[in-house]
Structure 1
């Protein structure tokens, strides 16, 4: 939108059309801030409502897109102040939800041809990043995302937060230090983007062993320091022995009649599992495992419940005679 455009003269349908062009990127921004797909959806709606009601405050000093980002960031901070004033602790995020790749594909290309931009975009949507950033206090979190992900100048971030540039720079340094405490040290070695043959083979072996409830087979694919969690169920298990013990105690080996559908979320390989239920005579959603793979081994498994299947575009059921490779 040009600097001389007066939003106060725009009718609601026209305004909605302008705002809708930015829905997906604003949703991803709010998702990074909040860690919850559902909360991000609500916050984008709140952003559009605030923008419409305050349209006369758009003075054209920034782009319409940047103006929306300012409103969205403040809406996120308001939500966090109301419902999650304390950041996550202990390495797990109970409110974490997955983000389907098919929706991430809707993001505008921008400078996607630049390898560095592609890497930043991919890494900052992976679950390990989302988990780490949720351990930051809300304002340093906003500073980190605005500066390091969106590339905003410190002056613009300071104006958004009503703070000084020095305070923003200090918050950024603290946030970066906090991220280093929670991000895996081998982050540069993560698989991401297009999966190579080795990754596909590892996912295939993991899928087959899981369908067969072969704990020993799965354990052989895990790194010694593997991490497993299942939000919103509390509990973070670190280390192969702890993970395998939890699976055994939870009755995993007693499961029968499983089917699996490969997919991808948060730019990571994932496997959706279905369990045959009687008397339905069909396979219904059970869980989805999102994998982080490093150096030919599984280093993290984040498991989500079956209620996430519809959002991820997965079938609501599989016929009893359907076998998914």
Structure 2
């Protein structure tokens, strides 16, 4: 009996052996579910369903593929089922305490959440850079606009390095079908490779945070590219271009109760981010998406979720951060 078959055989009768089998894949499976679903909350649910299904299905595992491929097949199926049935948590956009200006467009992925970098700390260091690039917010947001099977094929092949044959096994289809899915997905969403320098990104993000905290709209806008955009999930509004963003920021500053923000730096999907505290209480998160080179900002995502800071290990009150 091969080592893999013996491992599966032991896991089939021993919960501790099963835990050992899946533990080395748990973090990467969670990140995989996040890429397809775009939500950390939904990824939690999909991972839990994957582990339950794997435990129950051990008896039917024939060893024709590796445990890793088998687990990814279960996880991908669970994610696609969630998308097919649209079993997402309801996303209610908060009512702003001011009248916002007319948006430029709409942001469709209201369920989008940022992925805390800390969740990738257990990933193999050799693969960590790619893992962070593949949970970058702009990339994950673009995946949400693809048909689900195209998104899954792109992630499996171009992020995880599965062959066409392995991906066909995961998606329960033929390699020729995967090739077609992959071609269409690549045309719409090329997998990014960051060229910006981390130090430059950090400096630009800190300059933006300083200006944000003092409501210096001119200083914020000076850091934006001409094509910069601002989204605020779960709110549907999107503002495109520096002028539209400036109008929104000015309206927000005028209509905001409770004084100015205090920002605490974190990392989300390999990008600089800041947890926002207003009147001492947590009030969402801002993720800064740097342009190539790191000196300018191409996108801002302001998450209007007052519980999101807990994903980054931060307390509910700023007092606990400052002491």
Asked if Structure 1 and Structure 2 have the same fold, meaning a TM-score greater than 0.5 normalized by the shorter chain, the answer is yes
Q: Would you say 1:249 and 2:268 are equivalent positions? A: no
Aligned twin of 1:293 = 290
Q: CA RMSD in A?
A: 2.5
Cα deviations by residue, 1:272-321 (Å, 9 ceiling, x for unpaired): 22111xxxxxx111131101112411111111122100011122212299
Aligned length: 300
2:225 to 223, 226, 229: 223
Residues 92 and 131, structure 1, Cα contact 8 Å, conserved in 2 = no
Distance in 2 (alpha carbons) for counterparts of 1:152 and 1:212: 47
TM-score by length of 2: 0.85
1:191: Cα distance to partner? 2.6
1:253: Cα distance to partner? 6.5
Distance in 1 (alpha carbons) for counterparts of 2:169 and 2:50: 18
1:189: Cα distance to partner? 5.9
Aligned twin of 1:265 = 268
SS in structure 2 at match of 1:19: helix
Residues 225 and 299, structure 1, Cα contact 8 Å, conserved in 2 = yes
SS in structure 2 at match of 1:289: strand
Distance in 2 (alpha carbons) for counterparts of 1:240 and 1:164: 46
SS in structure 2 at match of 1:168: helix
Matches within 5 A, 1:202-221: 202-221=204-223
Q: Would you say 1:76 and 2:92 are equivalent positions? A: no
Which of structure 1's runs of 4+ aligned residues deviate more than 3 A?
Answer: 89-92, 187-190, 250-255, 320-323
Q: Which has the higher helix share?
A: 2
Instruction: Identify unmatched segments of 5+ residues in structure 1.
Output: 277-282
Matches within 5 A, 1:115-130: 118=129, 120-130=130-140
Structure possessing the higher relative contact order (Cα contacts under 8 Å, 6 or more residues apart): 2
1:108 to 124, 140, 146: 124
1:7: Cα distance to partner? 5.2
Specify whether residues 82 and 53 from structure 1 end up closer, same or farther in structure 2 by C-alpha distance, changes over 3 A only. same
Distance in 2 (alpha carbons) for counterparts of 1:147 and 1:138: 14
Distance in 2 (alpha carbons) for counterparts of 1:263 and 1:219: 22
Q: Would you say 1:306 and 2:288 are equivalent positions? A: no
1:99: Cα distance to partner? 1.0
Matches within 5 A, 1:51-66: 51-66=54-69
Residues 273 and 285, structure 2, Cα contact 8 Å, conserved in 1 = yes
Specify whether residues 254 and 233 from structure 1 end up closer, same or farther in structure 2 by C-alpha distance, changes over 3 A only. closer
Matches within 5 A, 1:1-325: 2-5=3-6, 6=9, 9-83=12-86, 92-109=108-125, 111-112=126-127, 118=129, 120-180=130-190, 190-191=195-196, 195-196=198-199, 198-251=200-253, 254=256, 256-276=259-279, 283-294=280-291, 295=293, 296-304=295-303, 305-319=305-319, 322=322
1:199: Cα distance to partner? 2.9
Distance in 1 (alpha carbons) for counterparts of 2:173 and 2:12: 32
